[in-house]
Structure 1
Amino acid sequence: MSGFFKKAMGLFVEFEDSPGKPIPKSHAPVAPPGRVTSPQVLNSEDFDKFENHFEKLFDQANLPGPDYYEFMRMNETLESHIKDDKARLAATFASLSIQGLTKEALIATAGRYKEIIAEDRSKFERIAAEKNEKEIGGRRHDLTQLEDSVRKNAEEISKLTQEINEAQKSIDGLKASILEEERKLESNQRGYLLASDAMTMKIDTDIQKIKSDL
């Protein structure tokens, strides 16, 4: 990126050092009047991406003849030779005024580049919103469905677990009841058989007595 873009972005971001490609961090970021902001960290990959984007945007929008864009690029070129800002701006303007640049045209074209950025930002935000709705929104929908499914399944598992526990209690109760009834039935059968044998023997004895004694 040209010094112009790096300096402009340096107002709001600090650049992370990247292995093999160090990018100096900006110093004392200053926000435009009326705007309070804190510097954000930007890695080298994102820096290069936005650098290329805005450089291409300004190149494509470059107005005919000398304008704000040429003014700022030349001003950045002279920075290593003229350290004083006022002197450098004056020298830059003097060089371009020979080509027909006026102060009014400089201010007007600077405003036009602001409009270009605003238009590009509006387009970027629209595309980002569409992408968010299409990709992230769809995934959020899937996430909600999965969460609902997990919640319903968890509720169903809890319900089934409760039913299983209640059924197990009923099973245990039925087993105990069956054992008790089996014990009673066995005892009753045993008693009946004993009584039946005793009555049969009594009758047999009575028959023998009748036959022998009458």
Structure 2
Amino acid sequence: MAEQETSSGLEGFGKKLLNLFIKDEPTSGKTAPVIPQNQGNPVAVPSPQSGPAPAAPASAAPVSAPLPEGAVDPKFVDHFASVLHRNNPPGPDYFEFRETLKNLSNLNLSEDQQYQAAWASYKAMGGSADVSALVSSANQYLTALNNDQQAFSKTVEETLTEKVGGLANEQKQLQAENEQLAKQILELQRKMDANTERLAKIGGELNDQRQKITQSKSNYDATLAVFVGQIKRDLLKLGEYIK
């Protein structure tokens, strides 16, 4: 690009990137990106004689399970702005072409006319007259984005392994603790039931023992009274009859 943004200007560059690659009209209530999905596959260079290359049929990738629908995130817009900024060569390239094409989208022109006009403007800015140079610069951006995607995917996998693995280990540990606690609770319940049963028996035994002890004391006192009384009578008789 002709103008090189500095790191302090990446926020503005991110907003510019958002305007260039994101449609103005929301789709189903959400803003939909128009960036090509096959970022890692370079675009074939059309020959000047053959005319525009036919559009490749879109193929839907099989999805084994429904995934959460994504949304354009401003922090990732700024991130991609930084990626493209680092891979931005000096002079007009695909980015100027995309900017011109975006501006032409507001005019009442057919798609073919928009691309032809953007191509003419691109060459007027000093861009190469060979369309392969423009396509090559676009493929360079795709390569940069694909490399970033691979690095991001690796980071995601590593984070998942760390976070999910740690949570899985914690889950197993908590389950094992709960099983152990459940066994302890069962054992305590059994102990409580045994204690309750024993307490019921002890209540009856206490009454029996209390009655036995009380009766034994009464018998002791009665027997003692006989001996004490006899001795006291003997003492009285001794005093009366023997002097």
How does the TM-score come out when normalised to structure 2? 0.57
1:53 correspondence with 2:53: no
2:21 aligned partner: 5
2:139 aligned partner: 111
2:118 aligned partner: 92
1:40 correspondence with 2:81: no
Secondary structure in 2 aligned to 1:80? Answer: coil
More helix, by proportion: 1
Q: Is the 8 A contact 2:100 2:118 kept in 1?
A: yes
Q: For the structure 1 residues 6 and 125, does the alpha-carbon distance in structure 2 shift closer, same or farther, using more than 3 Å as the test? A: same
RMSD: 4.1
User: 1:163 Cα shift?
Assistant: 1.1
Q: For the structure 1 residues 39 and 132, does the alpha-carbon distance in structure 2 shift closer, same or farther, using more than 3 Å as the test? A: closer
2:180 aligned partner: 152
How does the TM-score come out when normalised to structure 1? 0.64
Letter in 2 for 1:40: E
**Structure 1 spans left out of the alignment, 5+ residues:** 16-24, 199-214
**Structure 2 spans left out of the alignment, 5+ residues:** 1-14, 38-56, 227-243
Deviations 1:121-142 (A, max 9, x none): 1111222233334445434544
Deviations 1:84-130 (A, max 9, x none): 21101011112223521422233333333222222111111222233
State, as a whole percentage, how many aligned pairs show the same letter.
20
Secondary structure in 2 aligned to 1:156? Answer: helix
**Hey, what's the Cα distance between the residues in 1 that align with 2:214 and 2:32?**
97
Aligned residue pairs: how many? Answer: 186
The higher-RCO structure (CA 8 Å, 6+ apart) is 2
